[in-house]
Structure 1
C-alpha cells in the first residue's frame, strides 16, 4: 500500500467515525428552525397569500373573495404567491486554520462550520429547496442530506491555513453560503463578490472564530504558530498585542461587511462558544428574502 492510499484510507476512516455525530448534531440544530418553501414575490400557484386585486376579465365567480368584496363596491380576487424551489450552494473552508480549537470543551472551527452548513442544508431540503456544495450539483430530497454529510466530513484538509472558493463554480441566480474564519489571505473575497453580483448570485459570508481569536486572552511569553506552519511570531508580552489585534479584527469585519453589502450580500460572525441556533435562524430568514 502506498503512502498516498494509506493517507486516503485514514481520512476515510476518520470521516466515517465523525459522520454519525455530525448528522446527529445537524439534525438537532435543524429541528429548531421551521422550514417552508420560499415565495417568488409574484402571483401564482402557492399556499401563501400574496395580494388582493380587483376582479377582471377571465376571473370566475369561484375566484372572487366574497368576504373582502363585501366591504366595498368592487369584487376582489385573492392572489396567492408563486412558489418554486431555489438553489442554494454551500462552501465551507477546509484550510488548516479551521482546525483550531482553543479548548477541548469547544468544537473546532471546522466542526462548527460543518454542523452549521449541514443543518442549514437539512432545513432547506425539508422546505423543498435544491441544495449542494459549490462545484457539485444541487439536488432535492432527504438522500441529498446524507451525501452532503459524507462530503463535508470527508473533505480533504488544505495544505495552507486558508483556501478560497472557485469563482468559475458560480452559476447565475443561485444563493451561496460561504463559511470561513477569514483570518488569513482574503484577496479572493472582492473578485468573487464582484463576479457573483454580475451573475445575480446573492449570499452570505459567515465568519466562524474560536473565543480565543475573538478576545485574545494570551499573556506573557507566547509562541504563535499557524497550523500550516506558514506564519510564526514569538512574543514576550502577548498582552501588549491585544489592542492592536482586536483593532485589526474589527477592521477585517468592517471590510467584509462593506464588500458584502456592495454586492447585495450579508455578513455575520459566530463564535464556537455560542449556541448555533440563533445564527441558523438568521441564515434561514436571510435566504427567504
Structure 2
C-alpha cells in the first residue's frame, strides 16, 4: 500500500511538474480538450479502415466478396459489413488578434482569450486523433504531434501591433482541409468573403465562429456615454446612448445575416459564441461540425 501511494504521489508530482512548463493558455486549452469524449465527434462514416462500424443491406453493384455471409445467414437478406472511415485530416485555424478582440466586460475573459483557447483545444483534439493542425495565416505547414501545440501557442501569444479590426488573409490551405475562423467579424467583410471563396475553391470547408461579449449584444448603455475603441484611435461621445440601441442592434443583425449567407454559399457553417457561455459546449459543437460532409 505504501509503495502504491508513493507511486501515485510520484506520478502526480511529475504531471504537475510537466504542466508547470506549459503556458497558461495551452494548459487551459488542454484541460478543455480533455472534456470532449474522443470517438464521438461526428467524423464516423463508412470507408477504408480496420474497425467495424455497421452492417447495411446489400445493394445492386456490391461485390459478392463484400457480403458478410455469416450475418446474412441469420436473416432473409444479404448484408455488407462496413468498416469505419479512417483518414488523417488537416485542421486550419485563424484566430483574429485585432485590437477589437481584446474587449471584455466585467470578469469575463476577453474575446481574444476565448478564441485562442477554443482554437488550441481544437488543435489538441486534432493531434490526439493523429491529425495535423496549423494556423491559416502563417506560412508554416500544418503538422501532427504534440510539439505542434507548443508552436501554435507560441505563435498566438507573440502579440505586437494590431489593427483595430481583423481580417483573414490565409496562406494556401491544403486541399480538402477543415478550417475554423474565430473573430468578432466586426470589421470590413470583404476579406472574409475573399478568404472563404478561395477556401471553397480548394475544397476547404469549416466554421466561422463569431465571438462576442454579451455586452456587445445587449448594448446596455444610456444617457451620456463615451465610446472608445480598444486601440483608442476611435472615440465617440453622445448624450443619448439609448437612442442608438435599435440602430446598433439592426446593424449587428445585418452583419450576422451577411455572414450566414456567405457560409451557406461556400459550404461553411456559422456559429455565435458569447464569452459568458461554457467553452466546453462550444468546443464539442465545433468538433462535431468539423466532421466529414455527407
TM-score by length of 2: 0.83
2: CA distance, partners of 1:50 / 1:67: 11
Q: Which residue of structure 2 aligns with residue 44 of structure 1? A: 48
Instruction: Show the 5 A alignment for 1:15-164.
Output: 20-36=23-39, 41-52=45-56, 54=58, 56-58=63-65, 64-72=68-76, 74=78, 76-103=79-106, 105-134=107-136, 135=138, 136-158=140-162, 160-164=163-167
Structure 1 residues 83 and 229, CA gap change in structure 2 (3 angstroms): same
Structure 1 residues 139 and 21, CA gap change in structure 2 (3 angstroms): same
Which has the larger displacement, 226-235 or 115-124?
Answer: 226-235
Gaps of 5+ in 1: 1-16
Q: SS of the residue aligned with 1:205? A: strand
2: CA distance, partners of 1:202 / 1:140: 20
2:239 is aligned with 1:232: no
Which has the larger displacement, 145-154 or 116-125?
Answer: 145-154
2:196 pairs with one of 193, 202, 209: 193
2: CA distance, partners of 1:39 / 1:144: 22
Gaps of 5+ in 2: 1-19
2: CA distance, partners of 1:73 / 1:247: 58
2: CA distance, partners of 1:18 / 1:261: 42
Structure 1 residues 47 and 133, CA gap change in structure 2 (3 angstroms): same
Deviation at residue 57 of structure 1 after TM alignment: 4.9
C-alpha RMSD of the superposition: 2.4
> What is the aligned residue count?
267
1:178 pairs with one of 176, 181, 185: 181
Deviation at residue 248 of structure 1 after TM alignment: 1.1
Structure 1 residues 156 and 69, CA gap change in structure 2 (3 angstroms): farther
Deviations 1:213-254 (A, max 9, x none): 111111211111112234322111111111111111111111
